[in-house]
Structure 1
Amino acid sequence: MSGQPGPEEWTELNREFRLAGPGPAESGEPGRLSRVPVHHGRVVRLGIDRVRFPDGSTGELELIRHRGASAVLPLLDPLPHPDPRIVLLRQYRYAAGGFLYEVPAGIPDSDDESWEVCARRELAEETGYRARELRYLTAIFTTPGFTDEVIHLFAASGLEAGAVDRDEDEFLEVGCLPLSRAVEAVYRGAVTDAKTVSTLLFAHAFLPRAWEDHRPAPPRPSVPWDEGQPSP
């Protein structure tokens, strides 16, 4: 699954977690045994999966499958910079009961649109900015207890202003502020959107390093996002 650490990182993480405390016995390969579709929507698929757990037992889980998304932190000042100005959106979210401060983000337009192309397109559509440079930061599982949604986080620089092209159901304002003030807003509880909190804190801690490393974004999964193979 894209967004997971590589083998070296897993070795280190597994060593740390096993030192912290024993986990369940691993007998048999965990995974999906069968699925009952419940809802097939434009953005998500809801189903009831019968799964095998790491200890060999089985059970049923309600699972929301999501095609994944890209999010991007727009930087108005060239790097290196001690406290670059960033672009944030104030966007209406019905599920949250009001407006949230967010980084630009969205889902791919097609099954073959890369995470990077998706990030560039969403940035342009929502803010009007086109980015000369884009850097991959990391990926996050949003709520792995009931969904497989992964959001790939980017930072963008060399912004050039242009026209916006928003969806009809997008109600948002565009503003800017220094990165340090945005991070302070996270601490004070003014910024609560999960992908935005993750992007801001990651950038605050690792932006110069991530910009120099120039890590590539992972490819889109080869298996369609609403499919998958049952475990044997």
Structure 2
Amino acid sequence: MEPAIRTVSSRVVYENRWMAVREDEIERLDGSRGIYGVIDKSDFTVVIPAENGGFHMVEEYRYPIGRRTWNFPQGSYPDRRSGTPEDLARHELAEETGFRAGTLTRLGYLHGAHGISSQGFHVFLATDLEPGETAREPEEQDMRQCFVTREEFKHRIREGLITDDSSLAAYTLLLLHEEGGVLT
């Protein structure tokens, strides 16, 4: 089947070590033309560190929204490098929380903003946690972490303290996993 939109030309209009923004000239099925802006970023991982009926979460200041919010540990490889999602999940978990996962279970893969970005994310459940030292990046100097019960987690969502779409989507995958659903 022919794609609904065909790329006629593409040019990078901005690039740094984390992302590239490109502008594509496109042609629609009816032959009309237009432009489409796309943000290309490397995939990232979200890790749900779970134990004792709850989760370990991190909180940090998020510059684009101008406030602190809570989320599950997450991140991508620096400089748009690539590697396995499992290795990245273990790295991000240790870097942000200090925990090492004895068991890492893949819950699925999702896209966060498929209308504007090529970026997706892998979701993992981390259990059998062993504490250790964090190794946070300079942008994470203000990061805090805490353990929350599932009820506290839901309360933080209701209060607007957890607004991160990838953390909420990861939680949904966890619930489906616990129901016995097989995810791809």
TM-score (norm. length: structure 2): 0.88
Contact 1:136 1:153 (8 Å CA) reproduced: yes
Structure 2 counterpart SS, 1:120: helix
Matches within 5 A, 1:52-131: 52-77=27-52, 84-109=53-78, 111-131=81-101
Shift of 1:205: 4.1
Amino acid at match of 2:66: G
As a proportion of its length, which structure holds more strand? 2
CA change 1:55–1:149 in 2 (3 A) is farther
Does 1:146 pair with 2:149? no
Q: CA RMSD in A?
A: 2.2
Query: Kindly tell me: are residues 183 and 200 of structure 1, through their superposed partners in 2, closer, same or farther at Cα, counting changes over 3 Å?
Result: farther
Greater shift after overlay, 66-75 or 50-59?
A: 50-59
Q: What letter is aligned with 2:46?
A: A
Letter matched to residue 141 of structure 1? H
Structure 2 vs 1, CA of residues 107 and 28 (structure 1 numbering), >3 Å: closer, same or farther?
closer
Q: Does the alignment pair 1:44 with 2:14?
A: no
Which structure: larger Rg? 1
Counterpart position of 2:156: 185
Q: Deviations over 1:1-60 (max 9, x none)?
A: xxxxxxxxxxxxxxxxxxxxxxxxx76663422112111111110110112335554321
Q: TM-score, normalised by structure 1?
A: 0.71
**Residue segments in structure 2 that go unaligned for 5+ positions in a row:** none
Residue 147 of structure 2: aligned partner: 176
Which 4+ runs in 1 deviate beyond 4 A?
26-29
Secondary structure, in 3 states, of the residue corresponding to 1:146?
coil
Deviation at 1:140, TM superposition (A): 2.1
Aligned pairs, number: 182
Letter paired with 2:74: A
Contact 1:137/1:155 (<8 A) preserved: yes
Q: 1:209 to 1:29 in 2, by over 3 A?
A: same
User: What secondary structure is seen at the aligned counterpart in 2 of 1:64?
Assistant: strand
Distance in 1, matches of 2:101 and 2:147, equals 16
Distance 1:28 1:70 in 2: 29
Relative distance call for 1:186 and 1:111 in structure 2 (3 A) is same
SS in 1 for 2:87: helix
- Pairwise CA distance, 1:179: 2.1
Q: Which moved more, 1:163-172 or 1:193-202?
A: 193-202
Determine if contact 1:136/1:155 at 8 Å carries over to the other structure. Answer: yes
Q: 1:130 to 1:51 in 2, by over 3 A?
A: same
Is the 1:76–1:85 contact (alpha carbons within 8 Å) kept by the matching residues of 2?
A: yes
Q: Give the match's secondary structure for 1:209.
A: coil
